[in-house]
Structure 1
Amino acid sequence: MNQHVLAPPVALLLPGQGAQYRRMGAALHGYDRVFTEVMDEFLELLGADGERLRELWLTGEPADGVHDGLNAQPLLFGVAYAAAKSLEHRGLRPAVLLGHSIGELCAATLAGVWDLPAAARILAARSSSLGKAPRGGMLAVAAAPDTVEPLIPAECARAGVAVGAVNGAAQTVLAGPEAELAATDAVLKAKGMTTRAVRTAQPFHSPAMAEAARVFQEAIAAEQRNSPAIPLVSSLTAEPVTEQQALDPGFWASQMSRPVLFWPALQALDRRGAHTYVEVGPGKGLAAAARRLPTVLEGSSRVVSTLPSERGDTVATWESALAALASAGHLAG
């Protein structure tokens, strides 16, 4: 039988803040022609800031520079977008897109909600809007949100500490201002919970980002927006993005101050049937979540990672992903 018919449709998964690491995807620059051209175009569109980001990305110095949202977010976007366009050049045609945090803006760009020059301006505005945000952070907790949320001290919740992401059945991320997040961490540790700081200097997806989201919305409103040409599932609502939502600047901006419902969105997508889940971007965090889905566990869906975790071999992982996608009939020729 024709494996092109048998291959389940592709769902692209696009990672967000926390997946970044030094020189993520940089080994593909100069190795993969399309990746290189697209990444160069994106960085050029960012102007002087793009030159600074290029230096940081390719050299990996300063070592901790990539973890600040001012740097991590545009680089996460660029690496994922360039990798996705390289796969598209090879014939990959995703049936649906699902992004996590900044990955949702990448998904919108791939779907044609706005073009790459508009995306670069939107990303620049997003970086500028971070000046309206307090110093803060994010904290991964190995427990369900219903377990974690009641344990946030009332004074910390009033200051803006809140659930910032749901990445798995027992994978919750809190976000908020620095001091209050540290106090919450101490309470959770005292309760015997396992916690880990997410690498970021901003309290993304918490109420503390409300003013930054307002500034960001104004920038999105200045750009032309289109109905998506590829279906999107939102990690803001855990449902398909409607045409009305796609055209609404407030919809896209509000994800800065509202939680990322990635796991519920991934579950909703999986309930629609088997997929080839392809994580396009650094790390394997979204792929790890996808491997816990029912259709993957039963063998009707499969999971492919295109880039490695921090200590992995970038080119080897990329070539392995290309081979897997080609053997499943997802790539041309």
Structure 2
Amino acid sequence: MTLALLFPGQGIQHPDMLPWLDRHPLAAPVLARMADHVGHDWRARLGDEDWLSRNSVAQCLVTGVSLAAWSILCPLLPRPAVLAGYSVGELAAYSAAGVMDAGKALDLAACRAGAMDRCAAGRPAGLMAVSGLNAGVIDSMCECFGLAMAIRIGPDRCVLGGLSASLDAALPALAAHGAEVTRLRVRIASHTPWMTAAAAEIAARIAPMDWNNSQSIVANNVDGTGRRDAAGLKAALASQMASTVQWDRCMDTLAERQPRCVLEVGPGSSLSRMWQARYPGIPARAVDAFQSAQGAASWVRRYLT
């Protein structure tokens, strides 16, 4: 009867994400708080790619939309046994696990984005998804072009981060080795040493905050370890900003709990597809694929009964 939840990170926000949220009263308080950060015309601006991909907008949007969806789903589903959030999605995971309320998670998303933007000021940077190469080739390419491993997804799939000029230089070389390469809609080198100052700023900000211990296990990005204690969750949240996201280990930690199914809560479906590639025997779906929260909840209940 075990349910696992995944919360996405930035880069997957899109103009048609979860339109049914706007009609549900349970989502209204979270969406209003999110609008305080990104503007009350946010839905009308989703077609503006420049605005949508801004770090200050994207992190709050993904956090807010994910938590608005969870505010509707929460009364319809049993408490999840284990959760994981991808990059900034870790904030939504913490909130869903009872560590903090949605408003505090959104405020922290805005603070996190601001710290990262200040850290990256004057240094155009970004992220690039790479698949089809083994770890040895990736390590060699990182050393050659001055890049860093930002996210590890699988044995031949990862996300690299670095300065834009370095990413541009590396792209044809990676492609020449047979890799599939995609520049992501992210304007900073998240989860790399370029974010060290931002991680320190967030660590100092959250240190005095009064957080609850988690009601469920949260698999943390920094090492894939499942945690419940507030102190450990704080340290992990700050550290992951300048360290490689061990997403493969996070998925393994969820799988160790033997969930009957996995639900991705938020815009897009990238995490559920990653899950199915790694654990095809455990069904996974994305909330964004359904026309309503009730549809998503009905799918979950099929596997939990």
TM-score, L = length of structure 2: 0.89
| Residue 118 (structure 2) aligns with | 131
**SS of structure 1 residue aligned to 2:42:** helix
Equivalence for 1:251 = 236
8 Å contact from structure 1 (residues 118, 223) kept in 2: no
The structure 1 residue matched to 2:78, chosen from 83, 92, 104, is: 92
CA shift, 1:252, in A, is 1.3
The letter for the 2-side match of 1:275 is: R
When normalised by structure 1's length, the TM-score is 0.82
Greater shift, 235-244 or 123-132, is seen at 235-244
The DSSP-based 3-state class of the residue aligned with 2:226 is coil
Size of the alignment, in residue pairs? 302
Corresponding residue for residue 260 of structure 2? 275
Root-mean-square deviation (Å): 2.3
Say if 1:154 and 1:231 are closer, same or farther in 2 by CA, change over 3 A: closer
Residues 172-251 of structure 1: pairs in structure 2 closer than 5 A = 172-243=158-229, 245-246=231-232, 248=234, 250-251=235-236
Q: Distance in 1 between matches of 2:83 and 2:139?
A: 33
Q: Pick from 110, 127, 130: which aligns with 1:141?
A: 130
SS in 1 for 2:151: strand
Q: Could you tell me how far 1:319 is from its partner in structure 2?
A: 5.0
Q: How many angstroms apart in 1 are the aligned matches of 2:174 and 2:286?
A: 32
Determine the C-alpha separation between the residues in 2 that align with 1:73 and 1:191. 33
Note the alpha carbon deviations across 1:82-138, whole angstroms, 9 max, x for none.
111211122332111111001111111222222333323322211221222232111
SS state at 2:237 partner: helix
Shift of the 153–61 alpha-carbon distance from structure 1 to 2, 3 Å rule, reads closer
Structure 1 unaligned spans of 5+: 1-7, 309-313
- State whether residues 151 and 160 of structure 2, in contact with CA within 8 Å, keep that contact through their aligned partners in structure 1: yes
| 1:223–1:153 Cα change, 3 Å | closer
Q: Does 1:168 align with 2:143?
A: no
Alignment of 1:75-114 (within 5 A): 75-114=61-100
- From 52, 56, 65, give the equivalent of 2:42: 56
Counterparts of 2:232 and 2:99 in 1: how far apart (Å)?
7
SS of residue in 2 equivalent to 1:216:
helix
Describe the shift of the 1:217–1:145 C-alpha distance in structure 2 as closer, same or farther (beyond 3 A).
farther
Gapped regions of structure 2 (runs ≥ 5): none
Aligned to 1:10: 3
> Match for 1:35: what amino acid?
A
Is the counterpart of residue 71 in structure 1 residue 57 in structure 2?
yes
Structure 1 residue 329, shift from structure 2 partner: 4.8
SS at 1:24's partner residue?
coil
Q: Helix, strand or coil: the match of 1:114?
A: coil
Q: Distance in 1 between matches of 2:105 and 2:93?
A: 11
Residues 9 and 59 in structure 2, CA contact (< 8 A), matched pair in contact too: yes
Identity %: 25
Letter in 1 for 2:46: G
* Corresponding residue for residue 291 of structure 2: 315
Amino acid at match of 1:214: A
Separation in structure 1 between the aligned mates of residue 208 and residue 230 of structure 2, nearest angstrom: 17
**SS of alignment partner, residue 92 of structure 1:** coil
